[in-house]
Amino acid sequence: MRIVLLGPPGAGKGTQAERIVAARAVPHISTGDILRANVREGTELGATAKRYMDAGELVPDDVIVGMVGGRLDEPDAVSGFLLDGFPRTVPQARALEELVDGRGTPIDVVLRMVVDRDELVGRLTGRRTCGECGRVFHVEHRPPATEGACDDCGGALVQRDDDRDDVVVNRLEVYRTQTEPLERFYWERGLLRDVQATGTVDEVTDRALAALAAHDPGPAS
């Protein structure tokens, strides 16, 4: 099964991606990971991307799409994959559509993680990160045993700059303006499936897998 996973910051997309790929036996393909790998390995596309990154500019869509195409050609992605972090815009979605349709491997389903905006703000602004080891806590949902200190290493917990109230509101607005047209793009193609992403992690996973099973009732393997 070929899956695209959509979700705003704070929706728990990373956690659910790990669970979905384990259940469906497909690779988790993150554009961030692909970009870093190409830069690290010094590929032609990686060198091009690095020039833009070093200049503080966005990497052009055609470079990202080229990297995604290379990753989808690898043996583990032949029978399916989960794309996380791409596409983010309609032009990227069109480019992906041309890429996979040209290979005869069209996208099967797009899962949209749905969470109320106020819930997202609470999730993100309540996060606290250990300045030493990077472990993440939450003031309400996953508090440390000792306030302000990491359970693992005792390091001080801090609120990251991108988890501050004003930044969170802006991040969610940017996601909304970019993604609403993208969601319509996939809805018009009959591919969009909503997953309510509130409740326990297990409950959200069950809903996501049920959405996939409804689309493809065959065996997960």
Lowest pLDDT segment from 91-100, 168-177, 202-211: 168-177
Comparing 162 with 28, the larger pLDDT belongs to 28
Task: Decide if 71 is catalytic.
Answer: no
Residue 189 appears among annotated catalytic residues: no
| pLDDT for the residue numbered 189 | 95
Largest CA distance in the chain: 55
- Mean pLDDT value across the chain: 89
Q: Quick count: other Cβ atoms within 10 Å of Cβ 7?
A: 22
What integer pLDDT is reported at residue 51 of this predicted model? 87
Is 123 an active-site residue? Answer: no
30 membership: H or E segment, kind and range: strand 28-30
Instruction: Tell me which of 2, 13, 24, 128 is the catalytic residue.
Output: 13
40, 51, 103, 160: which one is catalytic? Answer: 160
* Cα 49 to Cα 56, 71, 118, 178, distances in angstroms: 11, 16, 36, 22
Catalytic hit among 2, 24, 171, 207: 171
Mean pLDDT of 69-93: 91
pLDDT tens digits, 52-62: 878 777 788 88
CATH of 2-26+79-116+173-215, one of 3.90.650.10, 3.40.50.300, 3.90.380.10, 3.20.20.70: 3.40.50.300
Task: Quote the crossing angle between the two packed helices 165-188 and 90-102, to the nearest 10°.
Answer: 40
Give the pLDDT band (50/70/90) at residue 220. Answer: very low
Q: Quick check: 217 pLDDT over 60? A: no
Q: Is 207 a catalytic residue?
A: no
Per-residue pLDDT tens digits for 122-132: 999 999 999 99
Active site residue 160: yes
Taking only the tens place, the pLDDT of each residue in 186-214 is 999 999 999 999 999 999 999 999 999 98
Cα–Cα distance, 61 to 117 (Å, whole number) = 28
- Which candidate in 19, 50, 88, 94 is catalytic? 88
Confidence of residue 145 (pLDDT cuts 50, 70, 90): very high
Q: Binning pLDDT at 50, 70 and 90, where does residue 221 land? A: very low
The active-site residue, picked from 127, 128, 193, 207, is: 127
Please report, rounded to a whole number, the percentage of residues in the chain having pLDDT higher than 70. 97
Could you tell me which of 155, 1, 6, 208 has the C-alpha nearest to residue 93?
6
